[in-house]
Chains A and B, each alone.
Chain A
Amino acid sequence: EIVLTQSPDTLSLSPGERATLSCRASQRVASTYLAWYQQKSGQAPRLLISGASTRATGIPDRFSGSGSGTDFSLSISRVEPEDFAVYFCQQYGTSPSITFGQGTRLEIK
């Protein structure tokens, strides 16, 4: 099983600042098999990025994903008030090889 470790656990920023979230895998992940999700309190996760860098439908271009191999990142160019949430990375392939990171909480500074 591929273990995903996200850092930091909590990121405190002010609106307008740039956010960079990290996701490190215990084994190489094919870049087409890495996704990022946003989850707000009491809601289901929402797909932001798939294939490591492809934004999902309707996702603003301030969100971007990058990385390959074992190191991936999600960046938010300028954090908006609605972006404060928990972010998860996920690696996927043919089931049962689906695992999630533990999440990074983006909070208002």
Chain B
Amino acid sequence: EVQLLESGGGLVQRGGSLRLSCAASGINFKDYGMSWVRQTPGKGLEWVAGISGSGGSTYYADSVKGRFTISRDNSKNTVSLQMNSLRAEDTAVYFCAKFEAASTLGPFDTWGQGTLVTVSS
């Protein structure tokens, strides 16, 4: 069974930093692109960042470009999201999600349970 487990969420002040991690199990991790998606009651689901299976290609939503960095460690089956210069509007539940293949093309066939990030102003 494929499982994704996020960690690292919490309360942070505006302008601060936070690093989220997602540990994958039950898959040959390097064979799949990974992504972070966030959800707020007001804005719904928003794709944040994606990374290919090899880690060689990364993509970001305009709203986080230059502030967030996605990375992966295929030896540890983990994907991370480094979030800097956090803003109130970054407050959300952050989900780790798996693409169907090594690229970042396709739907998300597996999601983690999410981790809450709250940015205080």
Contact = CB atoms under 8 A, between A and B. Distances in A.
A68 interface: no
Interface size class of A (residues with CB under 8 A): 20 to 34
A72 interface: no
B109 A47 contact: yes
Given A45-B45, A100-B44, A100-B45, A94 B104 contact: yes
B67 to A, nearest CB: 15
Given A96-B47, A100-B47, A44 B104 contact: no
Interface in B79-110: 95, 100, 103-110
Contacts of B111: 44-46
Contacts of B113: 43-44
B50 A98 contact: yes
Interface in A54-109: 56, 88, 90, 92-96, 98-103
A59 to B, nearest CB: 11
A96 to B, nearest CB: 5
Contact of B104 (A43, A95, A100): A95
A100 B62 CA distance: 15
A92 B109 contact: no
B95 A44 contact: yes
Q: For the side of the interface on B, what is the size category?
A: 20 to 34
A50 interface: yes
Nearest to B33: A95
B46 interface: yes
A88 B60 CA distance: 21
A25 interface: no
A35 interface: yes
A88 B45 contact: yes
Contacts of A100: 44-47
Given A44-B114, A94-B104, A56 B59 contact: no
A96 B61 CA distance: 6
B112 interface: yes
Contacts of B61: 96
Contacts of B62: 96
Contacts of A47: 107-110
